[in-house]
Amino acid sequence: QVRLVESGGGVVQPGTSLRLSCAASGFTFSNYDIHWVRQAPGKGLEWVALISYDGNIKHYVDSVKGRFTVSRDNSKNTLYLQMNSLRPEDTGVYYCAKRGEWEKLEIDSWGQGTLVTVSS
């Protein structure tokens, strides 16, 4: 079955960097676009980024453009989110999530999430 396991979260100070990873298994990773979606404590879901199956096309929410970079290594079945210049408002659980067969926001599998806390 599809499995997505995020790692790399932690407590960091504002202005610093963090890299999240997402290890995928149970499906042909190189065939699917993958999202990052985050959720601030007690708040709703916020879409963060989408990377195409081959890594050539990337989309970001405006609030992270220029600070976050999504990438993937299909040889390692792994997705990354490099987060620079972190702000307190970036605090939350970060999910990697697999796009389905049809729609861009058809997210048919989710990881368990990794918590990022940005605080001084």
Chain residues in the site for another protein (CB under 8 A):
35, 37, 44-47, 50, 59-62, 95, 100, 102-108, 110-113
- The nearest distance, CB 49 to another protein, in angstroms, is 8
Q: How far is the CB of 81 from another protein (least distance, A)?
A: 15
23 vs 61, beta carbon nearer another protein:
61
DSSP 5-68: EEE--EEE-TT--EEEEEEEESS-GGGS-EEEEEE-TTS-EEEEEEE-TTS--EEE-GGGTTTE
1 in Cβ contact with 110 (< 8 Å):
no
Kindly state the smallest distance separating residue 16's Cβ from another protein, in Å.
25
CA Rg value for the chain: 13
Cα–Cα distance measured from residue 59 to residue 27, given in angstroms and rounded to the nearest whole number: 23
Q: CB of 40: closest distance to another protein in angstroms?
A: 12
Q: Among residues 92 and 113, whose Cβ is nearest to another protein?
A: 113
C-beta of 37 vs 86, nearer to another protein = 37
Between 92 and 111, whose beta carbon lies closer to another protein? Answer: 111
HSE-CB of 118 using CA atoms within 13 angstroms: 18
